[in-house]
Structure 1
Amino acid sequence: MSTDPSVSHLQIVPTADGSNTIYNAVVGENYHSRNGALQESRHVFVVAGLQYFLKNSGTGNKGVSVLEVGFGTGLNFLLTADFCTQRQISLQYTGIEAYPLTNEMIGKTGYNQYVPAPIWQSFLQNYDASLQGAVQLNHDVQLHIAACDLLGFSSAAKYDVIYFDAFAAAHQPEMWSQEAIAHTLNFLKPGGIFVTYAITGNLKRIIKALGLKVQKAPGAPGKREMLRAVSSL
């Protein structure tokens, strides 16, 4: 661990599938599921979100834009960038993160094991710059991390897929309020996909009231179900 007091509350911990996550002692929560960080990220966001959109949108593989609420360690981004790079899909990725991790802390996650070296190296080299504006990591992938809280985020852009990966409602209830969810969905394109690891009655009611079609999907290890929602065309 770094001795930097600004990250003294953060600890890298292993999860059940062998991948690491980070425990935030201030929030009292892990950045990923202890049942498997890598499995959760792939299942919930890449497969149930990105791949589902590409398969069902009718737009082919020409390009995709992703907004992530809770950029955190960057694992969801790295797996998404790898998927798109392998298939030469143009990816515009924006992450919202109120408390960005340091480059040093991200470098200790061990996520270099799960993506090709060029993607990992470009991510670390451009991470700090991406906090200032959009940067091109390779021919296909552009990244911008908005260092602000969710309600402070604004953008003229709309996105094909939204990854909602905030800390659990038990620890950050404000992130799951009607105001927060409505603000998030303002940035979703018609026909776009919203995915999250959680599924509660209140979340379903909020999203249905905002005019989206809610789908229950099989959850990642440790969770029976997750939520996916589709906006109308």
Structure 2
Amino acid sequence: MERKIITTADGSSTIYLPDLDETYHSRHGAIQEALHVFITSGLDYWSDKYPEKQELSVLEIGFGTGLNAFLTCLHAESLHCKIKYTGVEAYPVTSEHLQHINYSKEILSGTQESVFNTLHDVSWEVMHDITSKFSLLKQEKIFNDITDVALYDLVFFDAFGPRVQPELWGEAVFKIMYKALKPGGVLVTYSAQGNARRAMQTVGFLVDRIPGPPGKREMLRANKPL
């Protein structure tokens, strides 16, 4: 499938799929969206909820360009816990496209480019220590093949939108997410679609609509009961 690099409203890059008319991140700002949805509403929310925890296990659904992992790795330095991060991706982005992604330059004037490159250079299917506070495991597989049970504290659900892949936003996939989370775990996603919210509730999540990132009025945050 054809992939094109485009620039979003905040100056950061994303990938556009012309065949689907879909982008990997919001056109209103890739970095802004990721910071709001996954760092502020997910990572910081969990950290504030469990200040006593010394380790955080994150599952990302849709590793993609590595933006969420990159931001999490950088943010880990200011948190009280170490992070073990698993990124699942069925169709990894090629190095050719990654060369044109500008996240490190947009975030910290290029000083963290080596970290971003390392996230993509390390081998798949093996846990790697990227920094003293952040470890990464990349898994190449479809989301339906996830069989983990009560392994993760936090899920970043960043799949393509319901318009192009509605099968990823139904009860079957959210049941997998529910099983993968520990009791008290949290799932965050940029979508606020009603069908997705109802599917989450059906499998057992307690779901809240909360303010969305630039360009979106709302997003969803789901908690697995203790």
**TM > 0.5 fold call:** yes
Q: What SS class does the counterpart of residue 66 from structure 1 fall into?
A: strand
2:59 to 64, 67, 70: 67
Match of 2:30 among 14, 27, 37: 37
2:164 is aligned to 171
- Residue of structure 1 in register with 2:16 after alignment: 23
Aligned: 1:193 with 2:193: no
Map 1:63-212; keep pairs closer than 5 Å. 63-87=55-79, 89-113=81-105, 114-115=107-108, 119-125=112-118, 127-155=120-148, 158-212=151-205
What residue identity is the alignment partner of 1:143? L
Q: Which runs of 4+ in 1 moved over 6 A?
A: none
SS of the aligned residue for 1:50 comes to helix
For residues 113 and 183 of structure 2, the distance between their equivalents in structure 1, rounded to whole angstroms, comes to 32
Q: 1:102 to 1:115 in 2, by over 3 A?
A: farther
- 2:41 counterpart SS class: helix
Distance 1:133 1:26, change over 3 A: farther
Q: How does 1:209-220 map onto structure 2 within 5 Å?
A: 209-220=202-213
**Percentage of matched positions with identical amino acids:** 39
Indicate conservation of the 8 Å contact 2:66/2:119, yes or no.
no
> Contact 2:60–2:87 (CA<8 Å) still a contact in 1?
yes
Partner residue of 2:6?
13
Residue 193 of structure 1 and its aligned partner are, at CA, apart by 0.7
What is the deviation of 1:196? 0.3
| Letter paired with 1:148 | K
1:50 and 1:91 mapped to 2: Cα distance? 10
In 2, Cα distance between the equivalents of 1:119 and 1:151?
Answer: 33
Q: Give the number of aligned pairs.
A: 225
CA distance in 1, matches of 2:119, 2:186: 28
Structure 2 unaligned blocks of 5 or more: none
Measured after TM superposition, the shift of residue 88 of structure 1 is 5.9
Contact 1:78/1:120 (<8 A) preserved: no
Per mean C-alpha deviation after superposition, the further-off stretch among 24-33 and 169-178 is 24-33
Deviations 1:58-101 (A, max 9, x none): 435x2211100011101111111100024463110001100001
CA RMSD of aligned residues (A): 1.9
Structure 1 contact 15–34 (Cα < 8 Å) conserved: yes
Q: What CA distance in whole angstroms lies between the structure 2 residues aligned with 1:168 and 1:153?
A: 19
Cα deviation for residue 155 of structure 1 reads: 3.2
Displacement after TM superposition at 1:210 (Å): 1.6
